[in-house]
Structure 1
């Protein structure tokens, strides 16, 4: 049934072309002059060319208009909108597991990289942030280690904010919805003589929560969050420019609406635990980009600093009984510096790029487990400073042997050193301080052959090495579990992209095969409480991705994105020292990896020559994912599920009002599952929601 549904929906496909509305600023132009040569080009990223569709990589793009039309609020909501991308809702901002093509992690360092305006986000506790007033989101699938480095085995998510050289004006937005959801934002973009640009934005969001905690008689998951962003751009000289970005976000969230699951019957209890659980986070992210551009090359410097601290309180038994409560605190300071130089001569057969990257991540955490049945506390603290260095290069040779055939070769060397200082205090006992040191290094090469068979068409084949660094288990109870090793992969990909009949149709298809060793797996500790990271033997992921975009008639656009992934363990065994038993998972599917992801969207703009209205925009979307397994044992699954979303917008001059709805059919599904020695727990997906957006531009 699922295959028939997917095939039927894939025949209904289309291209979405953005329409100008009252939100997001007044577009100054589609491009901006960036270089001394006076050429107008679309603003590009720090390392990659501006047009993703001309690169030998599987990539998807979400524009600012699509973020608005799909009513996306945070980075988690882009799940399934691009093929084989899945971000489960963990229950709070504390962690955001990201999976691409079966590669991901939900308990240790991410396997998919995140960059915002060139600033790297190293920790998953920083991933969930407000994406209002962004210019675009790019998703690059497959290993990106040659250019981006550590922890990008699955791919990269690049987020870009709006440039004051591209947008101008003041924007005010208000939103209200059921479940006491309210938000408001204001932003201003301007520039002086097209030399100094400035952007200021602020946003406040309140959610009353979706799920009732029956024990305390209140919602389990309300949240308040405020975010601010400042961007300053200065064209110091015709060849020299600088961009400063400052961002801050604070959130106060009651979360974790977990329910007890009775696996034998499949029944799920209401949320009913006695101690409210929460996560509060302060996060500041800052970046300074300096660019020097000549006719032959561009030299760039990216300096970054990110700070966050988070406090978690968790009723760990998730029951009306007063058994366990955990207080967790984490703090990170991350500094990074990158230099990049790349050639710019478009008429040259040879293009090159060199880069140097360095970082220091200072991470601290403390964990206080309160056993309220005995009155004893177990307090554990860990300090993990990590320093790393990398050098990389990429060369492109065009017209290799025959016209339109290109060869791309790249290599990167990463080296980092990590330290551990860990203290644990148990009831009536203080353990000796544990010290640890570890170093990791790796070469990550990549090679691609690309053939361009038309102005907007190409085919490619690529081979790339993936690498994810090792680290420490801060909660390990035995010395052999203290350190886990890096994981490695080889990824093979063949793909083709082509436009047809001008802008009428665009097709993007890729097939991939990933073989990786020493996969980092989360396993329950021998004590039955908590988890540690261990290395499995071998795993394989293979699949296909298809994006089709169509603009059949004026003002009508359609698009579809489908991904299929089959990710299995080839060699994975779990030895339990407490029971002296070994569980074999060979042949099982990897957890949290949906077999199918599917997104279909349609957009229609109706222009009305009325005095009080300019146009009405209709947007409809379907997004689905599944089947997926939640555990290594494959003993609990989430079948394929889909949600229908929609929005109708009315616009007049600088004012617009939008009526939106999500999960219109009220589809029930499990968004997260986990188990401990105390039982099995699930979190349900969000129910049917609706609301209204108001946008005014000055």
Structure 2
């Protein structure tokens, strides 16, 4: 029914635009040209508060994606855009709550991100706000390698800059309606108005729904369906030639069935559908608002950017990922953040050009994260308590019989019989739910300066230094209790073991972030060679996910008590807890050689870089140690990552053919990482030296091609046929490198029909129907390690109708 309505709307709109006016003809020409790939870095003039040169003239490994390229690949968020960026991975898994990004061998699922994101000049603070849906996007810049000198903490792996359309330079109204398989549908409406020569305003809104493709086989429910909606308002004001003000407000709402992880058979690679006894859910509200104001002050310019960011979300996760009823976690986050940045720089005349500034942000994060322990967990804990009690009693009886002259095996059998005749050993443990309330405010301050020296007409040197200071506080209240009925040889005792934790602490880190770069222009087309040395870091913090594991361990250690006990804690106990839940800042040095080549006539652009990154205190997201249910952050000593990145973009045959290709290679291994693992023989040390860093693909690749065919079949003006191939090399899922995803590739295509003001884009994704895992995790809920993963999206088809008014 939806397809018939869409077809009728297409035909009605085409008929109304069959005789174009002069204004329409201009629009049609623009629509034709929009399918081509231009060097947007060269033709788009954008105010940049910090940059001295166009992006491809800077000593940075970077990728630029235009709105036309994103539309052609049916990209709707940063996860899709990452597919076409070498050595940059943002997997599609879980929910929008999870915004894991991996660049050049670093990154993690939880806590501090390795990549920073700026949206229209506003730095996004909360990691749970990174994964949002695109609408009214103009272009995206992805800068790889540490950007800490100008952008501070959590840009160790790189920086993503997202820009929306400017109503002063790009007025117009657009409506896009899309529908696809698996009950997917979305609508985007954007209107941009040039109210005067000095004032522009834009409004955009979207709605998106997806029925999902995975079914929870236990509950029979859709495991990954979703709905989203949002709106943005943007004002661009230029009161004088030397001043401007940009005002932005953006709201998005997300409602998803989330975390659809099925069991992974590591021996044959078979991945089952999700099968949990609780549905995973995620709801999120995001409101971001910013004011950017700039003016010239004689030979200098000053830019101020102020933002307020609010996030409120709710998550439900079946932590064991199984039909059994072990654990359920819910989490509510309420985040408020303000940021302020002032940037002062001199003009672009003379050999000495400098930029200096200050940055400050304050984030308040309140998290309410209770963990619910259910019947199967009670049985699991009961058996864990019973086994050592029974073993100790069996050994005592056995030694007594051996002392009476009985052979050991016969003594052991006699001991077991005696215990059973007397009533045996039975434990019935009831683990109460664990509440958890955490306040973790974070303060970040930065002072930075960067100098660019024009040593000659071709050679420039850049020297930068930033001092970045970060403080994180934690104020926590959590508790746990276990009621335990123990029956030993006919005698039953009931005890209650309880523990309550309440404390506060803080950690602070200061870092000097230097940068040194040389760039040499090699021809008149601004082709260049560069070398860069830079330091980056991402902040340390606290693992609030650790508390349920701490409390379980504490209660279990007192499970042999013969009377009820309320565990008391000393100051040393709280210091030990802080040592357990805290993790250090991760730092890295990046050494890079690269080039940006513009071949004659600008028809081919080649970017290439080789890098070496040395990482200290590498942060890894691993399973909590004792029970293996929750995630925790650890520092993994040192690692080394080296690799290369190559990308090519061009157009040929009278600009009818546009193409691109990219390849990234990453070899990331641990240099020093020793962990302690619990085994049947006790705790033993495991050395991971030389093992690959998990979650980091060894290869990333993508290529695209679009062929435009002009037509004289009114109202159809042209056809564009496009195809893309992308994929990844092997990805290890654990530090021991025992479980991995093999290399895979996916194929996409689209057919764009251009009717002037109206375009129809028919698309298909994953045409090879590759069923790889986008993420995998181990769980020890049953006492043995089992693996769970999320399937990639299957083959999908759809169509988008776009109308320009």
TM-score of the pair, normalised by structure 1: 0.92
Q: RMSD across aligned C-alpha pairs, in angstroms?
A: 2.0
Matches within 5 A, 1:213-224: 213-224=216-227
What do the CA deviations read for 1:446-491 (whole angstroms, capped 9, x no partner)? 0001111113211011100111111112233334213211111111
Shift in Å, 1:328: 1.2
Cα distance 1:431–1:330, how it changes in 2: closer, same or farther (>3 A)?
same
Matched, 1:417 2:471: yes
Aligned equivalents of 1:377, 1:24: Cα separation in 2: 57
Q: 1:49 to 1:69 in 2, by over 3 A?
A: farther
Contact 2:187 2:207 in 1 (8 A): yes
Task: Report the alpha carbon displacement of residue 577 of structure 1 after superposing the two structures with TM.
Answer: 7.2
Superposed, which structure 2 residues align to 1:267-666 within 5 Å?
267-293=270-296, 296-345=299-348, 347-373=349-375, 374=430, 376-398=432-454, 400=455, 402-427=456-481, 429-455=498-524, 456-476=526-546, 477=550, 478-528=577-627, 529-554=629-654, 555-576=656-677, 579-666=682-769
Question: Per-residue deviation at 1:159?
Answer: 0.4
Question: CA separation in 2, counterparts of 1:534 and 1:19?
Answer: 55
Unaligned runs of 5+ in 2: 1-27, 376-429, 483-497, 551-576
Please state whether the residue corresponding to 1:79 is helix, strand or coil. helix
d(CA) in 2 for partners of 1:557 and 1:221?
35
**Any conservation in 1 of the 2:648–2:661 contact (CA below 8 Å)?**
yes
Q: Does the 8 Å contact 1:23/1:173 carry over to 2?
A: no
Distance change in 2, residues 1:165/1:546 (3 Å):
same
SS of the aligned residue for 2:722 comes to: strand
Aligned residue among 55, 58, 63 for 1:60: 63
CA-to-aligned-CA distance 1:517-573 (integer Å, 9 cap, x gap): 111122332322323222121100000111122323111111111111100000011
Note if contact 2:319-2:630 (Cα within 8 Å) is conserved in structure 1. no
Per-residue deviation, 1:375: 6.6
Matching residue of 1:72: 75
CA apart distance, 1:507: 1.4
Alpha carbons of structure 1 residues 415 and 239: separation in structure 2 relative to 1, 3 Å: same
Listed one character per residue, the Cα deviations across residues 380-419 of structure 1 (whole Å, up to 9, x for unaligned) are 1211011121110000111x2x541111000000112221
Q: Whole-Å Cα distance in 1 between the matches of residues 737 and 791 of structure 2? A: 19
Q: Displacement, 1:24?
A: 9.7
Question: Following the alignment from structure 1 to structure 2, what is the Cα–Cα distance between the partners of residues 430 and 196?
Answer: 61
Q: Please say if residues 479 and 501 of structure 2, whose CA atoms lie closer than 8 Å, have aligned partners that are also in contact.
A: no
Provide the residue aligned with 2:487 in structure 1: none
Instruction: State how 1:243-282 maps to structure 2 within 5 Å.
Output: 243-282=246-285
Number of aligned residues: 667
Distance change >3 Å, CA 62–CA 19, structure 1 → 2: farther
1:22–1:696 Cα contact (<8 Å) kept: no
Give 1:323 shift. 3.0
Q: Distance in 1 between matches of 2:689 and 2:213?
A: 39
Q: Indicate the residue corresponding to 1:211 in structure 2.
A: 214
In structure 2, distance between residues paired with 1:20 and 1:668? 39
1:654 deviation in Å?
Answer: 0.7
Tell me how far apart the structure 2 counterparts of residues 475 and 270 of structure 1 sit (CA, whole Å): 26
Select between 600-609 and 467-476 the one with higher mean Cα deviation. Answer: 467-476
Instruction: For residue 71 of structure 2, give the secondary structure of its aligned residue in structure 1.
Output: helix
Residue 343 of structure 1: CA displacement?
A: 2.2
- Distance in 1, matches of 2:606 and 2:272, equals 45
CA 1:250–1:695 in 2, change beyond 3 Å: closer, same or farther? Answer: same
Q: In 2, distance between residues paired with 1:272 and 1:354?
A: 54
C-alpha distance in 2 between matches for 1:96 and 1:416:
22
- Residues 594-626 of structure 1: CA deviation (Å, up to 9, x unaligned): 111111010111111222111111121111111
Rounded to whole Å, the distance in 1 between the matches of 2:99 and 2:340 is: 25
Q: Which of the two has greater strand per residue?
A: 1
Change (3 A) 1:558 1:266: closer
Q: Which has the higher helix share?
A: 2
CA distance, structure 1, for counterparts of residue 618 and residue 345 of structure 2: 34
Task: Provide the C-alpha distance between the structure 1 equivalents of 2:58 and 2:106, rounded to a whole number of angstroms.
Answer: 22
What residue is the counterpart of 2:105 in the other structure? 102
Aligned-residue offset at 1:356 = 0.5
Distance in structure 2 (CA, Å) of the matches to 1:664 and 1:113 = 32
- How many angstroms does 1:295 deviate by? 6.6
Instruction: Give the 5 Å matches for 1:190-201.
Output: 190-201=193-204
Structure 1 runs not aligned, ≥5 long: 1-17, 33-39
